[in-house]
Amino acid sequence: MEQQTIPLNDRDLSWLYFNYRVLSMAGEASVPLYERVKFLSIFSSNLDEFFRVRMPALLALHHLREGEKGALAAAQQEIARQLNEYGKIFTQSVLPELREKGIRVYYGESPAPEHLPSIRDYFYNTVLAYLQPVRIQFGQPMELFLENNALYLVVCLEDGGTGVVNIPSDHLPRFLRLSGNDVIFMDDVIRQHLGFLFPHVGITAAYSIKVTRDAEIDVDEFSGHLLQKVEDMLVQRQMGVPTRFLFDAAMPDALRDQLGEYFRIAALEMVPGGRYHNLRDLSDLPLPAAPSLEYPKMPPAHCHAIDLDKPLLDQIQAGDKMLHVPYQSYDYILRYFNEAATDPDVREIYVTLYRVASTSRIVHALMSAAKNGKKVTVMVELKARFDEANNLRWAKRMKAAGVRILYSIPGLKVHAKVALVKRKRGFSWDHTALLATGNFNESTARFYADHILFTRHQGITQELELLFIYMQTGIAPGKFNFMHFEHLLVAQFNLVDQFTSLIRAEAEAARAGKPARITIKLNNLQEKSMIAELYAAADAGVEIDLIVRSICCLVPREGIRVRRIVDRFLEHARVFIFHNGGEEQVYLGSADWMNRNLHRRIEVCFPIYDPVYRRQLKDIIHLQLTDNTNAVILGADARNLPVPREAGAAEVNAQRDTYAYVRQL
C-alpha cells in the first residue's frame, strides 16, 4: 500500500488544536471557575512542552527543507492566535469573575496601600535571599546564562544601562497571599523593590522574559555507562539551544533586538507574550476553599467484584478482576503490590516502571519485598522524557535495597505497564498478572482515566514471563524453540501484524456484505501504515469510530468518525474493539499508534476475555461516543467542531456518566 499518497493532517497543528480545546474549557461558563483556572495552567504547561520538544524539529526543518517552511509559519500563527485568546480569557473573564467572588489577583496593578508593609517584609526577609541582580553590557561577550524556563525581569535604568534579575519561582511560591483574599505575583513583589536591587540610579521600566530550551536529546547517542548517560543528558538538556525567547510585548523593539543579539536568539525564536510568563503556575494560585467553584467531588468507588476481607492474590486466582480508575479506587493496585511483598508464598515479582510517583508507595513495596527475601526484578525506563531524574533516583534506591534493576534496552523504550507475581505453594506455582493502560503511579492515577486488569490466565502470564526473559537476556520469544506471543500483542514482535490482520478481517467482512465495525480509543494517531489500513477498511464499508485525545493525523472521511474528549480527567486509556462477526475481540494496552510506539518501544496490548468486562468497556466507550457536552468532533482539517445535539436530546457527559455507571456495577 502506497503510504506517501495517503491524506494526512499535520502532526503539530493537530496537537495545537488539542491544546486549544484545553484552552476553550477555560473559557466555558459551564466549567466551574476554579477549574477554569486549572485549564489555563494546563494549557500553558502543554505549550511549554511543545516548545521544548516539537519546536526544535520545526526550526530544523525550516532551515533544512524549503518545502517545510510553511509548517513553522502555520504553527507560529496558530500559537499566536491561541495566546491572544488566552490573554482575553484570563484578563477579561477569569480575573473579573474571581474578583466578583471576592478574590483579587493583582495583574499589572499597584497593590493597595494596606498591603505594602507585608509585601516589603516578604521581599526583604524571604525573596531577597534568592535574587541575583546583574547589569549586562550590550556589545560585550555574554556573561549571563538564562536558565531553561526560568523567569527574569529586564530592567531599564535611567543612566541608559540594562539590568536583569531572576524571579525565583522554582524556590518560592509564585504567588503571595495578602490579607483577605488578595493575591500578588512574586514578579510584582520584586518590581516594587527594583530600586533596592539597582541603587543610585532610577528605574524607567521592567519587562519579563524567559527562554525555553531544546529538550529532545537522544540518550542513545551518548557513550559510556547508561546511568552516566542519563545524568549527562539531564545536564545537557538544561543547556540546550533556545527554541523560544518569550518577552513582554510591551518591550520596545530596540531593546528586544539588543537582547536577542546579546543572548544569541534568532528572530524566529522570539515570541511576544504578556506581562507574566510561566502561567502554568496558576495551578498553585492560593484560592480560598469554595466547593461551589470546583467540580463536584467524585470519591473513587469500591470495586464490588473484590472482597476487601480476603487476600487479593487469592481472589485473582478465582477469576479476572478489572478496575476503571479514577472512578474506582487505585488502592487495589497498592494492595496487590503490598500483598506480593509480604505473602510468604510469593517467590518472584517482575514489574515495568515508566513514570514513577515522586513518593511512590509501589516502589517502597518492591523494596520491602526484596528485603523480605523475594526475587524482585524491575525494568526502569530511564529514558521516560522529563521523568529521567525521578526514575534514576528510584532505581538507585531500589538497587540498594536488593532489587534487581534492568535498565533501558538500547534503541528502545519500555513503555509497557505490566507486572507478574509468582507464588509457590507446596510443589505447584501460581501466577498473577497486572496489565494496565496507564503507569503504575498513584499520583497521576487520581486524574488519569485508565483501565487495569488482574488475571491468572495461563497463556497471558506465560507470555508475560517470556517478555521479562527477553528484557533480561535479549533472547526473543520464538528463538531456540521458545513460545511465540499468541495472547499478548507486543510491539517489536506481533503487535503491528495482529492489528493489521484484525483491521483487514473487518474489511473482508464488509466486502462480503457482513456487519463490520472498528472502535478504537487512543491518545495519539500518527503512524502512516495504520492510518492507511483504516482508510482501506472504511473504503471497504467498515464503520469506524475513533476517540483520539491529542494528535490525530488521520483525516476523517466517509465511514470514519473521530471524537476528542477533554474534561476533568485526562483520557489516557487505549481501547481496541473489533466486531469480528459478532464475537467481538477487545484489547487494552499501553500503545498509541505513533511511529515511536509501534517501532521504537516495547508496548503490550492484552485481550479481555471475560464477557462481563468486555461489556463494561463497551458501555463506557458508548458513553464517550455519545457525549454531547465536552466531546468535540474532528473536522477534515483536524480542528475541533461542536457535537450537534438535537432539540430535546438528553445531555450526555461521558466522565460524569461513567462515574455513575461504575458506582452501580
Position 305 in a domain: no
Residues 87 and 225 in one domain: no
Residue 302 lies in a domain: no
Say if residues 313 and 336 touch (Cβ distance below 8 Å): yes
Percent of the chain with pLDDT over 90: 83
What confidence score (pLDDT) does residue 622 get?
Answer: 98
Check residue 445 and give its pLDDT. 96
Q: How far does Cα 233 stand from its chain's mean position?
A: 21
The residue among 461, 487, 513 that closes a domain is 487
pLDDT in tens, 576-628: 999 999 999 999 999 999 999 999 999 999 999 999 999 999 999 999 999 99
Binding-site residues from annotation for ATP: 46, 448, 549, 572
All three cell numbers of 532, joined, read: 492507511
Tell whether the model's pLDDT for residue 241 goes beyond 90: no
Look at residue 63 and tell me whether its pLDDT is greater than 80: no
Q: What is the CATH number of the domain that holds 144?
A: 3.30.1840.10
Q: Which domain holds residue 337?
A: 312-487
CA 240 from chain centre, in angstroms, equals 22
Do residues 652 and 661 touch, judged by C-beta distance below 8 A? Answer: no
Residue 292 lies in a domain: no
**Helices 69-89 and 55-64: crossing angle, nearest 10°?**
150
pLDDT reported for residue 647: 84
**Is the model's pLDDT at 260 over the cut of 50?**
yes
* Average pLDDT of the segment spanning 343-356: 96
Residue 230 has pLDDT above 70, yes or no: no
- Is 119 found in the same domain as 90? no
- Residues 641, 561 share a domain: yes
Between CA 397 and CA 408 the distance in angstroms is 17
Among 456, 487, 518, give the residue marking a domain's end: 487
- Same domain flag for 256 and 320: no
Tell me the CATH number at 510: 3.30.870.10
Task: Give how many domains the chain has, as a whole number.
Answer: 4
- Same structural domain, 146 and 231: yes
What global pTM score does this model have? 0.93
Does residue 421 share a domain with residue 379?
A: yes
Residue 501 has pLDDT above 70, yes or no: yes
pLDDT at 411 over 90: no
- For residues 116 and 150, membership in a common domain is answered with yes
Instruction: Look at 611 and 482; give whichever has higher pLDDT.
Output: 611
My answer on whether 206 and 148 are in the same domain is: yes
Q: Where are the beta strands (DSSP E) in 492-542?
A: 517-522
440-461 pLDDT, tens digit per residue, is 999 999 999 999 999 999 999 9
DSSP state string for 363-412? HHHHHHHHHTT-EEEEEE-TTSTT-HHHHHHHHHHHHHTTPEEEPPPTT-
Average pLDDT over residues 536-554: 98
pLDDT of residue 3: 44
pLDDT confidence of residue 385: 72
Whether residue 79 contacts residue 16, with contact meaning beta carbons closer than 8 Å, is answered with yes
Higher pLDDT, 475 or 3: 475
pLDDT at residue 268 tops 80:
yes
Q: How far apart are CA 642 and CA 253, in angstroms?
A: 40
pLDDT at 94: 98
User: Do 655 and 507 belong together in one domain?
Assistant: yes
Report whether 358 contacts 441 (CB < 8 A).
no
Mean pLDDT of the chain: 93
* pLDDT attached to residue 59: 85
Which tops the pLDDT comparison, 220 or 401? 401
The count of other CB atoms within 10 Å of the CB of residue 628 is 16
- pLDDT reading at 482 higher than 60: no
If you average pLDDT over residues 68-97, what whole number do you get?
Answer: 93
DSSP-derived secondary structure letter, 311: -
pLDDT at 657 over 90: yes
Which CATH number fits the domain that encloses residue 41?
Answer: 1.20.58.310
* CA–CA dist 134, 155 (Å, integer): 10
| First-residue to last-residue Cα distance in the chain | 45
Q: Are 626 and 515 part of one and the same domain? A: yes
Cell numbers given for 223: 557513550
The verdict on residue 297 lying in a domain is no
532 vs 397: CA distance, rounded Å: 45
Dist CA 357 CA 293 (whole Å): 28
What's the pLDDT at 430?
Answer: 95
Q: DSSP state, 118?
A: H
The stretch 640-662 carries a mean pLDDT of: 94
Residues making up the binding site for Mg(2+): 355, 385
Report yes or no on 306 lying in a domain: no
Q: In the structure, what pLDDT confidence band is assigned to residue 629 with cuts at 50, 70 and 90?
A: very high
Per-residue pLDDT at 236 exceeds 60: no
Cell of 221: 547517542
- Per-residue pLDDT at 483: 64
Please list the residues that pair with 164 across neighbouring strands: 134, 154
Binding-site residue numbers are: 46, 355, 385, 448, 549, 572
Q: What is the pLDDT of residues 175-224, one digit of tens each?
A: 999 999 999 999 999 999 999 999 999 999 999 999 998 766 554 443 34
Confidence of residue 66 (pLDDT cuts 50, 70, 90): low
Tell the residue number behind the cell numbers 527477553, with chain if given: 470
Give the DSSP H/E element, type plus range, for residue 508. Answer: helix 495-511
pLDDT at 329: 97
What are the residue numbers of the active site?
Answer: 415
- The DSSP bridge pattern shows strands 242-248 and 270-273 to be parallel
Q: Is residue 209 part of a domain?
A: yes
Mind listing the pLDDT tens digit for each residue in 631-643?
A: 999 999 999 999 9
Same domain (yes/no): 478, 338: yes
pLDDT value for 2: 42
> Does any domain span residue 300?
no
Do both 571 and 649 map to the same domain?
Answer: yes
Domain presence at residue 453: yes
User: Residue 332 pairs with which residues in a beta bridge?
Assistant: none
Listed residues 72, 102, 132: the one ending a domain: 102
